Structure 1
């Protein structure tokens, strides 16, 4: 199959490179100039696994304005707040027969994709796969090969021949995919997972394992899970897991699968970038408000993350000022 990965960040690189390794033809499209130019200069991307065996892997990467490929399927991995602009930049090469597949964090991306792709051509899912972008042209796959899992569903909840072919390629790439016919229930399970692990690990600057090791972690997780499930039930979402199964998933991934991993929200905060909290905890808050339900713990955490973002921006300004002062003295 032919894939074009839009967004050559941590997850885009992992999915694209492993699909390429499984025998597929894969291109990458990215808008971050430093990333694209670094990979052009290197002749590919440096790949590590668990901080070891760093090696160069060749790939084809393009800016959206110069891309002319014709894939069977686009794989979208961007931050929620970046997607609309990137879709506009890429629109000139989209064709009616092509599929869009995504496992982006949060909610809000599907509606944007539907502006460019037919409903029957949209496949979305969730990925419990840990990856870190160390910098431009440098990615670290966390966990042994075959670690992690994912779920996916057709937007129409009707599977077709292409979707089954996609699942087969994801199996070959060892992503351990599970195809469901419950679109919203599949996606919302990951939103709830992220609303616990991503947000709390970010606020307290700790790995998933460190969070799960705290004696009060189950109580904290359950409070957020209960609020989130209350919201989903009011909106008519049939979740694919029970509340207890969701808590079990948080514990398994945090304690066994990826205990040393810092979630993506932490990575954004640590690198002075905006987080996706509005598309995770904030999304649950707004969905609850539609039904007169106050998801107050999620609301509190959303405000807390935004306050922390302000603090990080102040820290960045101080660092930049100190750097400029040092340069002047030199």
Structure 2
């Protein structure tokens, strides 16, 4: 399969490298010049797993204006707020039959993708994968090989032949895909987890394991889950888990799967990059308000996160 990965950050590199190692023809298209330059100068990407076995993986990388091939599949892995600009810059190589896949955190990028491809050629979903970008062109895969999980879902909720081909390639890449047919339910399951773990771990400068070890963690999580469920149900979301099951997922992912991991929002904060809080907690607040509801806990977290971002910039 011919694949172009837009975005050579932590997750874009992980997806692209794994799919390349599985036998696919993968190119990276990068809008961020420092990343592009580092990878070109190195002639590849440095890859580690859990801080060990750092090695160089040769990859091909291009600026958008340099790339002229027409891929079968485009994987969009920029930050949510960069999705529109990325799709605009890369529109020239999205062919009539090209599919676009996104497993970004938060909700919002599909609306940008829809400007360039029809719904039947959009595959969304979520990634339960911990990855750290140490520096441009230097990525650390967290967790044992084959331990990552992904969920893929067609925006139309009607899997077609090409979607099944993508699932097979993800399986060969050790990404443990599950094909779902509940579009918004799939996205909201990760949205709720991120609205708890990403935001609170970032604000408190702690790992996922440190969060769930706190005696009041379940109560905090439940308050945020309850507000999210109320907003989602009002918006017509068919949730795939109960509130209790979502709490169990958060506890399991944090205590058993990635207890030592700092979420991606934390990584953005410490590196003075804008966070995606408006597309996570902020999306829940916006959805609640649309239906005359309040999500005051999420609203407070959005304000506190932006305050922390502002304080970080003042101290640079």
TM-score (ref. length: structure 2):
0.99
Q: Report the Cα distance in structure 2 between the residues aligned to 1:131 and 1:177, rounded to whole angstroms.
A: 17
Q: Report the Cα distance in structure 2 between the residues aligned to 1:148 and 1:53, rounded to whole angstroms.
A: 18
Offset of 1:274 from its aligned partner?
Answer: 0.8
Q: Tell me which residue corresponds to 1:173.
A: 173
In angstroms, what is the RMSD of aligned CA positions?
A: 0.7
User: What does the per-residue CA deviation read over 1:253-293, in whole Å, with 9 as the maximum and x for residues that have no partner?
Assistant: 10111111100000011111111000000010000001000
Q: Tell me which residue corresponds to 1:311.
A: 311
User: What does the per-residue CA deviation read over 1:233-252, in whole Å, with 9 as the maximum and x for residues that have no partner?
Assistant: 11110011111111111111
Q: Report the Cα distance in structure 2 between the residues aligned to 1:282 and 1:77, rounded to whole angstroms.
A: 20
Q: Report the Cα distance in structure 1 between the residues aligned to 2:144 and 2:10, rounded to whole angstroms.
A: 16
Q: Report the Cα distance in structure 2 between the residues aligned to 1:303 and 1:56, rounded to whole angstroms.
A: 41
User: What does the per-residue CA deviation read over 1:53-87, in whole Å, with 9 as the maximum and x for residues that have no partner?
Assistant: 11000000000011011211001101011111111
Offset of 1:160 from its aligned partner?
Answer: 0.4
Structure 2 contact 71–95 (Cα < 8 Å) conserved? no
TM-score (ref. length: structure 1):
0.95
Q: Tell me which residue corresponds to 2:277.
A: 277
Offset of 1:148 from its aligned partner?
Answer: 2.3
Q: Secondary structure at the match of 2:315?
A: helix
Q: How does 1:100-249 map to 2 (within 5 A)?
A: 100-249=100-249
Larger CA Rg, structure 1 vs 2: 1
Offset of 1:91 from its aligned partner?
Answer: 1.0
Q: Report the Cα distance in structure 1 between the residues aligned to 2:278 and 2:4, rounded to whole angstroms.
A: 28
Q: Report the Cα distance in structure 2 between the residues aligned to 1:231 and 1:148, rounded to whole angstroms.
A: 29
Offset of 1:174 from its aligned partner?
Answer: 1.1
Structure 1: any 5+ residue segments left out of the alignment?
317-330
Q: Tell me which residue corresponds to 1:22.
A: 22
Q: Secondary structure at the match of 2:227?
A: helix
Structure 1 contact 96–118 (Cα < 8 Å) conserved? no
Q: Tell me which residue corresponds to 1:325.
A: none
Structure 2 contact 207–263 (Cα < 8 Å) conserved? yes
Offset of 1:232 from its aligned partner?
Answer: 0.4
Instruction: Tell me the matched-pair count.
Output: 316
Structure 2: any 5+ residue segments left out of the alignment?
none
Moved over 3 A (4+): none
Q: Report the Cα distance in structure 1 between the residues aligned to 2:101 and 2:196, rounded to whole angstroms.
A: 25
Q: How does 1:35-50 map to 2 (within 5 A)?
A: 35-50=35-50
